[in-house]
Chain A
Amino acid sequence: MNLDTIKSELEANIPGCHAEIIANASPAAQHSLLIAPEHAFAAATWLREAPHLRFDFCSNVTGIDWPTKEVTTKIKVLKQIDGAEKEVEESQKTTTPGYLEVVYHLYSHELNHGPLPLRLRTADRDANTHLPSLTPIWRSAEYQEREIFDLYGVHFTGHPDLRRLLMWDEFVDHPMRRDYVDPDDYEYEPTAHDEVLTRATQHATEAGRP
């Protein structure tokens, strides 16, 4: 099971499919396969059906939130100042748009190999959070996709029963997103410190206590 061969076979078998290998630099070296969402369903079906791969088991589905990143880098620029050419340091801001990612861990019971981490990414974190559901291929993904929908806000198109799993239906937030602000409902702590101390002091001031 070589990831490079899987990638090239996948691109040869699914017309228009583009896959990318996300390298894992850690000693585990568990590299993963990033697939464009529009071909994800066909690619996943192929991964399950191909006789030499037979990924018949999806053990785990998880979500990751990648918020919008703003990186400030300092670059040296040559500028004309008072007729002479001078090297000036300028800071340049680059913004990487955020997205939501879903990772599927695939195994093959039949051929006894795996895992193959499969990644899907949404276009952004706000409006275009749709991804194809892989529940029709691996039934074990059903509840985990519901959980990801609940906690991250990824909309799985084609999911048989996409409802919130852990939070109630009236809930509007997605608690596992990095910009989630949890309700301010713990008013005290016996040994408050740091953020909790700030909150506790605020509550105490509001209540008119010293």
Chain B
Amino acid sequence: MDEQLKAELSKQGIFTTSLQELYNWSRKSSLWPLNFGLACCAIEMIATTMARYDLARFGAEVFRPSPRQADLMIVAGTVTKKMAPQVVRLYNQMPEPKYVISMGACAISGGPFKQGYNVLKGIDRFIPVDVYIPGCPPRPEALIDAFMFLQKKIDAQQITGAARPRHLDADQPSEFPIPEFGPHDLQPTSNPAIWHPPLVQISQAGPDESRHD
């Protein structure tokens, strides 16, 4: 519908909308996060839901204790390799449409524990992430910002056509393979269908010649 005509009609007291707008508006206004935290970022997530920051203003006050009732997974904290299969399993148990916020340095990349043997170097190796929040831990304002960003993202989704989201495309998977515990590492170490190592220009760095041990 023409935006100008719509504005003209609303001046006359006639409200018009499209199914897509209604659909997106209702979904973005009632995102129910999954009630689970992994580390210190979870404390900030809890603070966000409390009276001072009040995530309820954005329709996300109902933290669900079951993945079957949740729309949004906030991966708040360090994902250890021992925990990673459970996180992926919880994600798989959530019904579509579902979204993931990767909160904090650890959930993005492993953070300060990146070079350790037991920490997953980013949850995006196994599940698709919609919004990343940097910080260690991010402040509640940052989580609210990420939440509003996700709402904008949902609002812009097309319900038909080639650009439609995953849950409206029957060919797209809604579940992702759960990694298994191997003798040295998780198997596989990442899901190649959704994650590739980022392209970094290594040759520009060059050997560090300033150090003389």
Contact = CB atoms under 8 A, between A and B. Distances in A.
Interface of A: 166-173, 175, 180, 182-183, 185-194, 196-197, 200-201, 203-204, 207, 209-210
Interface residues of B, number: 27
B77 interface: no
A210 B82 contact: no
Contact of A171 (B184, B189, B203, B205): B184
Interface of B: 81-82, 110, 114-118, 121, 181-185, 189-190, 197-203, 205, 207-208, 211
A170 B181 contact: yes
A194 to B, nearest CB: 6
A192 B205 contact: yes
Given A169-B181, A189-B114, 16 more contacts: A166-B118, A168-B81, A168-B181, A170-B183, A173-B184, A180-B117, A183-B184, A185-B121, A186-B114, A186-B115, A188-B197, A188-B198, A192-B202, A196-B115, A197-B205, A207-B197
Nearest to B114: A186
A167 B118 contact: yes
- The secondary structure that dominates the B interface is loop
A170 B81 CA distance: 12
24 contacts: A166-B82, A166-B118, A167-B82, A168-B81, A168-B82, A168-B181, A169-B181, A170-B181, A183-B117, A185-B190, A186-B110, A186-B114, A186-B115, A187-B197, A188-B197, A189-B114, A192-B205, A194-B208, A197-B207, A200-B202, A204-B200, A207-B197, A209-B199, A210-B201
Contacts of B198: 188
B197 A203 contact: yes
Contacts of B183: 170-173
Most central of B116, B198, B200 by chain A CB within 10 Å: B200
A210 B203 contact: yes
A13 to B, nearest CB: 43
A207 B192 CA distance: 14
A182 B197 contact: no
A106 B199 CA distance: 53
B117 A175 contact: yes
Contacts of B182: 170
Nearest to B117: A182
A202 to B, nearest CB: 9
Contacts of B185: 183, 185
Most central of A186, A192, A201 by chain B CB within 10 Å: A186
Nearest to B189: A185
B205 A193 contact: yes
A82 to B, nearest CB: 44
Given A166-B118, A197-B207, A188 B200 contact: yes
B208 A197 contact: yes
A112 B110 CA distance: 43
Contacts of A207: 197
Nearest to A182: B117
A194 B207 CA distance: 7
Given A185-B121, A185-B189, A186-B115, A171 B181 contact: yes
Nearest to A187: B197
A193 B207 CA distance: 7
A95 B207 CA distance: 35
B202 A197 contact: yes
A187 B196 CA distance: 10
A196 B121 CA distance: 14
B164 to A, nearest CB: 32
